[in-house]
Structure 1
Amino acid sequence: MSVSTSSPEKGIRLVTVDFPPVNALPVAGWSELAGAVGEAGRDPEVRCVVLAAEGRGFNAGVDIKEIQAGGPAALLGASRGCARAFAAVYECEVPVVAAVHGHCLGGGIGLVGNADAIVASEDAVFGLPELDRGALGAATHLARLVPPHLLRTLYYTAGTVSAAELHRHGAVWRVVPREGLREAALELAGRIAAKDGRLLRLAKAALNGIDPVDVHRSYRFEQGFTFEAELSGTGARVRDAFGTVGGNSGAGSGGNSGKGAAG
């Protein structure tokens, strides 16, 4: 279980997440990911970062078992870890391309919503099953991918949207067969990395500066309601019910692992 980095081509840093079986990250994993992305952006030789994953899916959110075992302290740790990782992608000094396959749920939406570009495989699905997990959050980032009413429908139903649908909405740059995903992401990263490095960093800062929504403040506002749900007992009740019967709810739930998607 790790976050690894490599340099497949000049000017490109590949950050790969691998937390079997479904890439539901523990608290330490979110912090490790934040560190790897931040370090890549600070490297003057890097002009583009590609964020990818091994295994069954791109990201299944936080490790629900860790939160169930650790209680409020673990929930706080997961919230802070997610916030650091999402911020690291958004604040990375160079553009970040997300290469998404399989499930991209909960915290995964926080990562791709803050990325600069998304390349997805044909089997990729995106969603926020937070209401099934006793939490709230990352609507801030889903709002960067889909129109407002679709956002609300997906959020209230804990539904998912396909890569092809996101491509039609303009959020996904390309949809490719699973076996060609890494190549397609690196091809786009190579086109970006061919530009002047200093100018790319200025462009990233400029685009962040004109964003209409402060993603950090918006996400923090959402997370306040997660803790309100927790203090009322609602969060734990729903989360425990998911852990008991949610193991068969699909790829994002982590199969029978008891892990799931929350951001």
Structure 2
Amino acid sequence: MDLGTIADVVIPRMRSDVPPGRDDSAVIAGGTWLMSEKQDHLTRLVDITGLGWPPLVVDDAGLTVAATCTIETLATATFERDWPATVLFEQCATALLASFKIWKVATVGGNICLSLPAGAMISLATAMDGVATVWADDGSEYTVPVVDLVTGPHENALRVGDMLRSVRFTSEALSATTAFRKIALSPLGRSATVVVGRRDTDEQFVVSVTAATRRPYVLRFPGLPSQDELRGALAGSIPDTAWYDDPHGAPDWRRHITIGSAAEILEELTC
């Protein structure tokens, strides 16, 4: 869609070129959502693809994913490391209601910053304890866990002028064994729940819930819980008002399928 109110497009090549934030300005990389509907409140776009960030950077401590990394690049990446949890990259990408054309353009950072309950990269980043690095408008930078960055549908903790730079996954999380469940009303429908389980090498058990709730939830156990402990923790950690309600699923159904998916994941990771 043409954005008829845009008067200026800025393409910074380095951080000092990034203009101060303002309410009528938006950051764009892939732009697959931004260009899909009217944005009459915007007069300026800041295209961050010109910053030239490498999409994936591997080091001994883990993996850094640039905000401008496309979903296709992440989903199809291979690594010369024993990182079994990278199977989640493609699994979570397939939870995104999008064609292969969108995969080639949509970015990891854009999906997270859009902050929709069914954001596939939110599912991935929260399941993997991803930590976001954010460039602040005042020239500083800060880090925040992605589970805390996304606060609700189309809502996040970014302030005007803040820019997501990257998401970091540790080698410990990438070395974990994982299990994945997605349920939707139709085979290719928008996710009604995405539940990911992670069993770390130190036996910590982590389960994340997205799509079914207004914001992400992550539960942790020092070891494998019993089924009753898991169900009790889910019931106690996710309030009734947190279950999302839209045409893709009613709250009580989302709660039911989420608890059932978590139970299946626990059984799978116990084997």
Q: TM-score, normalised by structure 2?
A: 0.29
Of Structure 1 and Structure 2, the greater strand share is in: 2
Of Structure 1 and Structure 2, the greater helix share is in: 1
Tell me which structure has the larger Cα radius of gyration: 2
Q: TM-score, normalised by structure 1?
A: 0.29
Q: Which gives a bigger RCO, structure 1 or 2 (Cα 8 Å, sep 6+)?
A: 1
